[in-house]
Amino acid sequence: MRRIAKNFVARNFVALSIGAVLFALAPAADAAEQGARSSDLSAQQRRPYARRAPTRIEVYPLRGPLRRECVAVYTERYVPAWGQTVIYPGQRCWWTRG
């Protein structure tokens, strides 16, 4: 039993020692990367990321005096993360004359 405990302690000590050395060297690597980044172009000169055009929804109502009627709808949905049913608000709309 003591031999197993000694091996366990020795392995953990070696792993922790390696981790501590790597952790101590990490800030030096970050400083070197920051120096490389400082020679990069400024934010004003960089090309912006390509943005997607916003989604357009076109509605073509019927001719004549129309109005839009909407009704509030509440639906129950099961949320597995919460483990219970949650009520979600929604809306149903349609075109009516007059």
**Which pLDDT belongs to residue 9?**
66
Q: Check: CB of residue 66 under 8 Å from CB of residue 95.
A: yes
**Which pLDDT belongs to residue 76?**
95
Nearest-angstrom CA–CA distance, 88 and 79 = 11
Nearest-angstrom CA–CA distance, 78 and 73 = 17
pTM (predicted TM-score): 0.32
What pLDDT digit, counting tens, does each position of 11-57 carry? 777 777 777 776 777 665 555 555 555 555 566 666 667 778 888 88
What pLDDT digit, counting tens, does each position of 53-98 carry? 888 888 776 677 888 999 999 999 999 999 999 999 999 999 888 7
CA 5 from chain center: how many Å?
43
Q: Check: CB of residue 70 under 8 Å from CB of residue 91.
A: yes
